[in-house]
Amino acid sequence: MPRYARVLIDRTGAREFDYAIPAELEGAVSVGTRVRVPMRQRVLTGTVLSLPETPAVPNPRPIAGVVGTRPLLDPVLLRLGEWIARYYCCPVEAALRAILPETVRKGQSGFKQQWFAAIRRLPEPPELDRLRKKAPRQAAALDHLAKAGAPVAAATLAEQCTVTLTTLRALQRAGWIVLTQENVDRDPWADEEFLPAAPHELNPEQAAALAATLAAVEHPANSKPLLLHGVTGSGKTEIYLQAIEHALGLGKTAIVLVPEIALTPQTVERFKSRFARTDAPVAVLHSHLSAGERHDEWHKARSGRARIVIGARSAVFAPLENLGLIVVDEEHEHSYKQEETPRYQARDVAVVRASMEPCAVLLGSATPALESWQNAIAGKYELLQLRVRADDRKLPRIRVIDLRMHTGRTKGPPLFSERLRSAIEDRLEKREQTILFLNRRGYATSLQCPKCGHVCMCPNCSISLTYHRAAARMNCHLCGHSERVATRCPACSDPAIRHSGAGTERIEDVVAKVFPKARVARMDADTMTRKEAYRETLGAFRTGRIDILIGTQMIAKGLHFPNVTLVGIVNADLSLHLPDFRAGERTFQLLTQVAGRAGRGEVEGDVYVQTYTPFSPSIQWARRQDYEEFAAQELGFRREWNYPPFTHLALLTLRSPSEARAAFCAETLARRLKEGMPDGVVLGEPAPAPLARVKGQYRFHLSLRGRTILRAVEHLRKVIEETPLPADVRLTVDVDPCQLM
Ligand code: ADP
Ligand code: ZN
């Protein structure tokens, strides 16, 4: 019997303390158990990391209690937490915080309890008759229960027989019924019925990909991570579904990661309905759940009541036992990267977890991240490819429209070229649907004075304010600063202040003017503020009550509407000119994703891409839908410039309200890092970040590049520990960053 436990206490950074396991908790404490422990005058919670033979201090204090009945963390998840801490340069405690949802960790939320009533015996006939006259509701409740034969929720009885819990208690005292209290799951999908859906018969490419996946599920220890590259609509999801079905048949469980943005009712429905009749209910984890719902979904997975978990980034930590398969759909998506500590990349964590379990891991995408593609080329991943659409539908025709030819005819650049405009008109006549995509919300990206050139800037950040016309405000999309719209130039008082750079709100406005009869809806962060708005708008679009849907990247992913035959990309250049080595890759991915929304039904689809740089490689390869050529060319650049995937990057950001102190600290860190830097790691010059100021904080960057990031991170961690920073300077470390701004 272990006598001591090493406990990582919540919110103390990396501090571990030893405690004794008291006799009454013998057998209840193991690695991963959540415990309450005394710390000075208080009782805090923490996680048991190990069970040492001898304590680090003589006679440690005893553990006060255990949270939950079983360890909340199994050993694999604990090891995964340690790996995250080491790789992403963060405290173990921060990693564990990501692994266990707050509501579970604290053990506060608890299960929702409900009263259930069941019949014990009916009263004797004369008595029942008397009851029917005197207390008809009570009699009705008894009849209801007798007919049901099984426990009925008190809430249901209240609804159907208008009896209260007090009345039911009286019936219990009379000895006619039994009341019990039970845990019930809060089910966010309780109101929906999912009809079972049958699997498709696979085409030969799909069958080959499935066979490889099943081999990995059955023999995970000698299989590689699988990269499934297939154009949109090639039937990747069908492979996920059948692979999961097979894993369940082997008594195993599965995790499906999807980007938060794609966690639409449509996606959830597809999984729920395929598994509707099995004994393997699906648990769903995403960021819009209430604390109670999250608690229940988590415990559903933990207890084995759910054997499939589908969710966003954090679902990679789902507490399933006997894991057979982790699917990462749209594996190139940047939302898999967490942009706060611990800054982990869920796709990579999935691969690491799969090797620890061991289980199969399947990464799927139409446009794989170049990191994954390079891994496949180098033979670290096994490549599976689907080259045709599953339903034999053609890929949409993509036309590139050179906006340079259109300037000058109207005031300022036109939002719609004549060709796009007439294509929309054509669809309206044919009663087909159109999606217009622009990755920028608001009405205009800037307000500028034509006289003196003054641009309305955010007072806290180094970017211009976005004009929101309906709200009549200028907002900063970085810090949330908001002010009333300037009617005169704040610098020279000229009244002619002008807006430029259209956002989705402006597109909506123009569409309403050009196509007055069309039914139009807009989906972006401004219109989707209510929880239900997303579902409602998509529902209206699906049932044909909307002709034109305008939106940001919110509509780019995973949606499937057979009647959409036209997709217009209003400005393809927005993501192309960012100071980020992935700008080309992102543009290619975005264009391919958005184009994939067209022509998912009987009619072939058309995509119009408007751009000022029609000959940029990302746009040309996207037009031809040739991922492999694009990847080959882009990887050439990356290799030449020594960028990922040929090297790893760690990005340090120093923030301070004082520009001088942030710069000084960046330089000091750079100097100290140079000493003892492992071979093959290159340190960049400290420099102001591309977004030099955000929320009133000046920002400086410092980067490390090397093939062996683990050793670089180790060195980094030591230097950071030995280099105290002034109180008003904050440092963040981002390993394998997505955000370079
Ligand atoms: P992806 O995930 O690659 O975008 P999906 O799995 O969503 O592709 O498949 C696209 C469409 O084709 C869906 O409507 C799906 O039901 C259908 N489909 C998939 N596989 C087959 C198949 N083997 N035979 C017929 N239809 C299929
Ligand atoms: Zn701002």
Ligand 1 atom closest to the Cα of residue 206 is 23
CA pseudo-torsion sign 233, 238, 241, 246: negative
Which of 210, 367, 391 for a ligand 1 pocket mutation test, highest count of atoms within 8 Å of Cβ?
Answer: 391
pLDDT in tens, 84-114: 999 999 988 889 889 988 777 666 555 566 7
CA of 481 to the centre of ligand 2 (A): 5
Q: Is the pLDDT of residue 593 over 90?
A: no
Distance CA 134, CA 411 (A): 82
Q: How far is the CA of 148 from the centre of ligand 2 (A)?
A: 61
In whole angstroms, what is the distance from residue 627 CA to residue 369 CA? 11
Measured CA to CA, the distance from residue 214 to residue 475 in angstroms comes to 51
What tens digit of pLDDT does each residue of 531-572 get? 688 888 988 998 999 999 999 888 876 677 888 999 999 998
- Cβ–Cβ < 8 Å for 293, 101: no
Q: Considering every ligand atom shown, identify the ligand nearest to the alpha carbon of residue 474 and give its number.
A: 2
* CA dihedral over 78, 79, 80, 83, signed as positive or negative: positive
Cα–Cα distances in Å, from 568 out to 39, 111, 291, 593, 636? 61, 47, 39, 12, 31
- Which ligand has the minimum distance to the alpha carbon of residue 561? 1
Angle at 188 between CA 185 and CA 189, to 5 degrees: 105
Closest CA to 103 of 306, 268, 275, 314: 314
Lowest mean pLDDT among 118-132, 460-474, 589-603, 627-641: 589-603
The CA distance from 320 to 309, in Å, is 8
Which of 213, 227, 232, 238 best tests ligand 1's pocket when mutated (most atoms within 8 Å of CB)?
A: 238
Other CB atoms within 10 Å distance of the CB of residue 117:
27
Q: In what side-by-side order are the strands of the sheet with 42-50?
A: 16-20, 4-9, 42-50, 34-39, 65-67
148-169: b (≥16 Cβ within 10 Å) or e: eeebbebeebbeebebeeebbe
Ligand 1 atom nearest 230 alpha carbon: 3
Checking phi first, is residue 13 left (phi over 0); if not, alpha (psi -120 to 50) or beta? left
Query: What does the pLDDT read at residue 512?
Result: 92
Tokens 């289980």 sit on residue? 359
Q: What was the pLDDT predicted at 138? A: 86
Tokens of 452: 């003196």
CA 556 to ligand 1 center in whole angstroms: 18
Ligand closest to CA 475: 2
Q: What is the pTM of this model?
A: 0.82
- Find the ligand nearest to 596 CA: 1
For residue 433, the CA-to-ligand 1 centroid distance in Å is 21
Q: If you average pLDDT over every residue of the chain, what do you get?
A: 88
**CA separation for the pair 13, 717 (Å, rounded):** 14
Could you tell me how many residues make up the chain? 741
Nearest alpha carbon, ligand 1 atom 19: 235
Q: Looking up tokens 């980067």, which residue turns up? A: 703
Q: For 663-707, what is each residue's pLDDT tens digit?
A: 999 999 999 999 989 999 999 999 999 999 999 999 999 999 998
The string over 667-701, giving b where at least 16 C-beta atoms fall within 10 Å of a residue's C-beta and e elsewhere, is eebbeebeeebeeebebeebebbebbbbeebbbbb
Atom 4, ligand 1: which residue's CA is nearest? 233
Output the ligand 1 site: residues, CB below 6 A: 200-203, 206, 230, 232-238, 390-391
Ligand 1 mean position, distance from CA 392 (Å): 10
**In this structure, which ligand is nearest to the CA of 238?**
1
Instruction: Measure the CA–CA gap between 42 and 499, rounded to whole angstroms.
Output: 58
The token pair at 279 is: 């004994």
CB 590 within 8 A of CB 381: no
Mean pLDDT of all residues in 224-230: 97
Instruction: Determine the atom of ligand 1 nearest the C-alpha atom of 386.
Output: 3
Report how far ligand 2's centroid is from the alpha carbon of 468 (Å): 15
For the sheet containing 152-153, what is the strand order? 152-153, 112-119, 177-184
**Which range, of 165-169, 373-377, 398-402, 718-722, averages the lowest pLDDT?**
165-169
Residue 231 CA: nearest ligand 1 atom is 3
Calculate how far, in angstroms, residue 599's C-alpha sits from the geometric centre of ligand 1.
13
Mean pLDDT of the region 240-268: 87
Whether 694 contacts 66, CB under 8 Å = no
Reported as a single tens digit per residue, the pLDDT across 196-213 is: 667 889 999 999 999 999
Question: For residue 561, what pLDDT is reported?
Answer: 83
Q: Please, which pLDDT band fits residue 45 given cuts at 50, 70 and 90?
A: confident
> What separation in Å is there between the alpha carbon of 672 and the centre of ligand 1?
55
pLDDT at 191 over 60: no
Ligand 1 atom nearest 238 alpha carbon = 6
pLDDT of residue 235: 92
Q: What is the pLDDT of residues 329-380, one digit of tens each?
A: 999 999 999 999 999 999 999 999 999 999 999 999 999 999 999 999 999 9
For residue 26, what pLDDT is reported? 85
- pLDDT category, 116, cuts 50, 70, 90? confident
Q: Where are the beta strands (DSSP E) in 65-151?
A: 65-67, 112-119
Please tell me the distance from the alpha carbon of residue 186 to that of residue 478, in angstroms, as a whole number.
35
CA 87 to centroid of chain Cα atoms: 21
pLDDT at 646 over 90: yes
Distance 427 CA to ligand 2 centre (A): 40
pLDDT digits (tens, 9 = 90+) for 480-522: 899 998 888 888 888 888 888 889 999 999 999 999 999 999 9
DSSP three-state, residue 673: helix
Q: Which ligand is nearest to the CA of 696?
A: 2
Q: Whose CA is nearest to atom 20 of ligand 1?
A: 235
Q: How far is the CA of 234 from the centre of ligand 1 (A)?
A: 6
Residue minimizing CA distance to atom 9 of ligand 1: 235
Q: What ligand 1 atom has the least distance to the C-alpha of 202? A: 23
**Whole-number pLDDT of residue 263:** 67
Question: For residue 383, how far is its CA from the centre of ligand 1 (angstroms)?
Answer: 20
Q: Does 412 score more than 60 pLDDT?
A: no
pLDDT score of 307 more than 90: yes
Could you identify the atom of ligand 1 that is nearest to the CA of residue 366?
A: 3
SS (H, E, C) 689-717: EEEEEECCEEEEEEEEEECCHHHHHHHHH
Q: Which two tokens stand for residue 101?
A: 């949802």
Mean pLDDT of 575-595: 86
Q: Which two tokens stand for residue 306?
A: 């759910």
Per-residue pLDDT at 344: 98
Point out the ligand 1 atom lying closest to the alpha carbon of residue 232.
Answer: 4
Q: What percent of the chain has pLDDT over 90?
A: 47
Q: How far is the CA of 605 from the centre of ligand 1 (A)?
A: 17
- The closest residue, in CA terms, to atom 11 on ligand 1 is 233
Q: How far is the CA of 233 from the centre of ligand 1 (A)?
A: 6
Q: Which helix (H) or strand (E) holds 230?
A: strand 226-230
Residues sharing a CB contact under 8 Å with residue 192, sequence separation 6 or more, in sequence order: 269, 272
According to the model, what pLDDT value does residue 435 have? 93
Q: Which ligand is in closest contact with the Cα of 483?
A: 2
Task: Give the ligand 1 atom nearest the CA of 201.
Answer: 23
Nearest CA to ligand 1 atom 10: 233
